[in-house]
Structure 1
Amino acid sequence: MTLPERLAAYNTPEGALEYLDEYEKAHRKLSDKRERRLLEGYFERIGQVDTILDLPCGFGRYLPFLSRHGKSVAQSDWSKDMLVLGRKLYGEDAALGRFRALGHQMPLADGTVEVSFSMRLNHHLVDPLVRRGHIEELFRISSCWTIFSYFDYNSLKNLGRRVRYRCGSTIRRKNTMLRREVHDLARTAGFKIVCDPMLFVIGSGHRLVLAERSKS
């Protein structure tokens, strides 16, 4: 599926509701619990901040969590229907603001927010240059901290998929990044990776990154 096709499917009322229903599944609840446990630890290190950007915010599943750690949380998503659903679920005034944007083309100035936050977007981006651009944008708009996930090319889960693919399976290839590539992007942007654990060593290929802007 190309990026335009994926965005078109996502930017519909049906796509928004399907995404909401997805997080009612047992395996999603398990990964969400693990994800939040890691993120709680990240924000213990970060402390309270003034501004956080959540992109893609989806229907707002992280809005209550982020609101506990930031005075103002801006939400952004490409899907206008997802933003509408978020307003219905959490109210008009729950977020600092809601606006449409692509993860690799954010209409914000450098260092606009203290924390840029992007869960479970990168592995949906088909083009490798767009995946890199997404991470570069997260670093660019953050003045202090960046939190994001990506699918590690060398993860055990992806290794299994690669073996199956070479054996003739029609399983779809994952949209991945190399860990050293992510570290290089951070270094170039003036950030250091504080930690980047796997969500699950065996059952998931996702890494959750906490990066801090280096002190000049």
Structure 2
Amino acid sequence: MKEILSAAENFLYENKGLELSCPILVCPFCQKELIACYNSLSCKRCELCYPIQHGIMDFLLEKECYWVSGAFSHESKNYEQRYQSLEKAKNYNLQKKKEATLSEGKIIEKLLEAQGKTKFLLDVPCGGGRLSYFLEKNTQYLIEADIAYGQLLYGQKNFQSAIPKIYLRTSALRLPLKDNSIDAAVCIRLSHHLHSEQERILLIRELLRVSSRFVILSFNDSYAFKNIYRGWKKRLEKNTMSMDEIARIANDFHADLLCAPNTGFMRTHRYALLIKRENSNIILKEE
């Protein structure tokens, strides 16, 4: 377990993260360049200021347009508020099943290995870093992003890493990254919390926008045996997606669904590998 960083170590750690990430970061609201200041980043255009503390760059401002309307907005805020403290994040992560993490990690690792090593890899939402071990084997720099500050602190202080990491407090639906600025994004166990097709489209679009090569996205499969059985008994409580839906959304943003393996017959989650077509850019309208 890592010791708490000294003030001097914190200073070096934060500046290393800044040095690595500044070329790829933008303001999440206006997509304009950021200026590095002491313990913060500021936007050249909208003059918003994003604080940096304990090596974590905080882009999650209380601004109404940040959150997508609907049920996901309320659920996200609850998660964010619940795991702001390190102690609460610790309790949450200790409850996670190690077997599930291992089987999930192995399938993600296999998908990553097939695509070759990346320079920048995004893990969003990263939680307390439960999948970091599997991800960092296949990248030079790992970007850990989550909306809960406590989760980021927990991952930072409890998992030794062989590679440099960049920590961002941000929403997966509005990432502070330039178009095609990273090689790939991994988004695990988020899509089934999205309550509408609009939100699912926004998530996939945003992940493909920032990634130049590919995206790995987990989803709760509509046609998994367990979900079909649940559907006979009662209305599904969790939000599901089909492979056809994933493929259609990916195609709209110039990407192809290459495969979507699962970890077993009785498992409901699949792991979609979306490959971006060459020279494709996601054009976003300015809001």
TM tier, smaller: 0.7 to 0.9
Distance change >3 Å, CA 157–CA 18, structure 1 → 2: farther
Q: Specify the code of the residue in structure 2 equivalent to 1:135.
A: I
Q: Specify the code of the residue in structure 2 equivalent to 1:188.
A: D
Aligned-residue identity in percent = 27
Shift in Å at residue 93 of structure 1? 9.3
Equivalent positions of 1:96-111 (< 5 A) are: 96-111=165-180
SS in 2 for 1:50: strand
Match of 2:209 in 1: 140
Q: Specify the code of the residue in structure 2 equivalent to 1:79.
A: A
SS in 1 for 2:147: coil
Matched pairs, number: 206
Match of 1:212 in 2: 275
Distance in 1 between residues matched to 2:175 and 2:257, nearest whole Å: 22
Contact 1:75 1:95 in 2 (8 A): no
Specify which of 9, 12, 22 is matched with residue 95 of structure 2.
Answer: 22
Equivalent positions of 1:103-142 (< 5 A) are: 103-142=172-211
Distance in 1 between residues matched to 2:162 and 2:71, nearest whole Å: 35
Cα distance per residue 1:39-87 (max 9 Å; x no partner): 2321221111111011011111122222211001111001111111112
Distance in 2 between residues matched to 1:103 and 1:95, nearest whole Å: 21
Distance in 2 between residues matched to 1:190 and 1:9, nearest whole Å: 34
Distance in 2 between residues matched to 1:206 and 1:133, nearest whole Å: 20
Contact 1:152 1:176 in 2 (8 A): yes
Distance in 2 between residues matched to 1:44 and 1:104, nearest whole Å: 26
SS in 2 for 1:53: strand
Distance in 2 between residues matched to 1:7 and 1:192, nearest whole Å: 29
Contact 1:158 1:174 in 2 (8 A): no
TM-score scaled by structure 1? 0.85
Contact 2:257 2:274 in 1 (8 A): yes
Equivalent positions of 1:1-216 (< 5 A) are: 2-11=71-80, 12=83, 13=85, 15-23=88-96, 28-90=97-159, 95-165=164-234, 173-202=237-266, 204-216=267-279
Cα distance per residue 1:146-196 (max 9 Å; x no partner): 111011122212112211215xxxxx6111112211001111211111210
Cα RMSD of the aligned pairs, angstroms, is: 2.3
Contact 2:101 2:130 in 1 (8 A): no
Distance in 2 between residues matched to 1:124 and 1:15, nearest whole Å: 21
Which structure has the larger Rg?
2
Contact 1:123 1:174 in 2 (8 A): yes
Q: Where do 5+ consecutive residues of structure 2 fail to align?
A: 1-69, 280-287
